[in-house]
């Protein structure tokens, strides 16, 4: 498979997943605010901090009002990680590999793009409560269509790899939103308000029902453990790492548990560390520090994938 083609399928999936997750972590905040007691200060700035793009935001907007932040994250065409920009990039990548992916995939990403554009042209931020669920559903549709219509060969595995690495990263960020929001008032821990916030967080990761089935009581410890270490829930970080590693080994042809390329090694090492970590060890180290480090290492995996498969240079140039 051409490196450029693999790269495009990988990024097509990353961008679709990214759009979905931006929708998710904006949604978590909207939900939290709905349940917040009147008079409590609105917390929007943490959203920008979790994207890591504060500098970009500050350069483009004067104050961190709810409206500015929502516009930045959803419909800002100049900001490369806004929902609308993600869809534009996803569609461009899809267009460049149309003869490789299935036409159903192309149609789905195309209508997803058109839907977001239409919403942007409408421009009503008050409609956003309906918009975010639509974005999530369109992303699920895309993943389902790809699973059901594209041969599960190398290209498909590159797509999976992109989607799962992106999802692991974004689940970490969604958890971090909660961290930032709690930070100013540690005294709230354990209060009914705190409980509501954890429920909202689970719901935003579509994890609430699945969590109930295996844990009953909602505790900070239980929720973080579920979203980081659970091996069966498809949005938990460890699940993403396990499946990403499976796809990576299908691509590289190396057997599981061994490594040949830098990406095999970086991803395998991260996954196996999480295999033996407990949630108590994570909280001892500090949840935020742990998530921060995890994101850095996921970036390293991404860079390794790039240099192992996409950025090939010949030994001798003419």
Q: Where does this chain bind another protein (CB under 8 A)?
A: 1-4, 6, 92, 95-96, 98-99, 103, 106-107, 154, 158, 251, 309-310, 312, 314-318
CB of 312 to another protein, least distance (A): 4
Nearer to another protein, 90 or 287 (CB): 90
CB of 317 to another protein, least distance (A): 7
d(CA 299, CA 252) in angstroms, rounded, equals 19
CB of 261 to another protein, least distance (A): 11
d(CA 220, CA 174) in angstroms, rounded, equals 14
Residues 6+ apart with CB under 8 A from 217: none
d(CA 179, CA 227) in angstroms, rounded, equals 14
Q: CA-CA distances (angstroms) from residue 229 to 93, 136, 314?
A: 32, 23, 41
Nearer to another protein, 91 or 167 (CB): 91
CB of 100 to another protein, least distance (A): 8
315 burial level (CB within 10 Å; 0-12, 13-18, 19+): exposed
d(CA 161, CA 155) in angstroms, rounded, equals 10
Nearer to another protein, 149 or 191 (CB): 149
Q: CA-CA distances (angstroms) from residue 234 to 25, 27, 203, 263, 287?
A: 17, 19, 14, 22, 21
Residues 6+ apart with CB under 8 A from 8: 93, 94, 96, 97
d(CA 108, CA 29) in angstroms, rounded, equals 28
Nearer to another protein, 53 or 308 (CB): 308
CB of 33 to another protein, least distance (A): 37
Nearer to another protein, 143 or 251 (CB): 251
Nearer to another protein, 81 or 263 (CB): 263
CB of 113 to another protein, least distance (A): 12
Nearer to another protein, 1 or 30 (CB): 1
CB of 78 to another protein, least distance (A): 16
């Amino acid at each position: 498979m051409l490196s450029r083609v693999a790269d495009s399928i990988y990024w097509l999936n990353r961008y679709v997943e990214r759009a979905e997750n931006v929708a998710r972590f904006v949604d978590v905040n909207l939900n939290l605010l709905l349940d917040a007691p009147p008079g409590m200060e609105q917390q929007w700035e943490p959203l920008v901090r979790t994207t890591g793009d504060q500098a970009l935001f500050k350069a483009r907007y004067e104050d961190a009002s709810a409206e500015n932040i929502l516009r930045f994250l959803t419909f800002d065409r100049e900001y490369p990680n806004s929902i609308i920009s993600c869809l534009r990039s996803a569609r461009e990548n899809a267009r460049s590999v149309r003869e490789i992916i299935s036409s159903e995939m192309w149609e789905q990403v195309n209508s997803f793009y058109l839907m977001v554009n239409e919403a942007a042209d409408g421009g009503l931020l008050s409609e956003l409560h309906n918009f975010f669920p639509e974005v999530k559903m369109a992303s699920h549709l895309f993943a389902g269509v790809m699973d059901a219509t594209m041969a599960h060969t190398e290209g498909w595995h590159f797509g999976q790899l992109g989607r799962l690495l992106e999802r692991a990263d974004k689940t970490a960020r969604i958890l971090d939103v909660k961290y930032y929001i709690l930070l100013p008032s540690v005294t709230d821990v354990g209060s009914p308000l705190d409980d509501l916030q954890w429920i909202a967080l689970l719901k935003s990761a579509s994890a609430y029902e699945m969590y109930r089935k295996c844990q009953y009581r909602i505790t900070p410890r239980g929720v973080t453990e579920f979203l980081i270490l659970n091996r069966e829930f498809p949005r938990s970080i460890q699940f993403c790492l396990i499946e990403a590693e499976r796809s990576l080994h299908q691509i590289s042809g190396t057997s599981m548990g061994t490594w040949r390329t830098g990406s095999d090694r970086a991803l395998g090492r991260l996954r196996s560390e999480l295999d033996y970590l407990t949630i108590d060890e994570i909280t001892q180290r500090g949840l935020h520090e742990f998530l921060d480090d995890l994101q850095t290492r996921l970036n390293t995996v991404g860079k390794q994938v790039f240099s192992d498969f996409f950025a090939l240079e010949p030994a001798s140039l003419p």
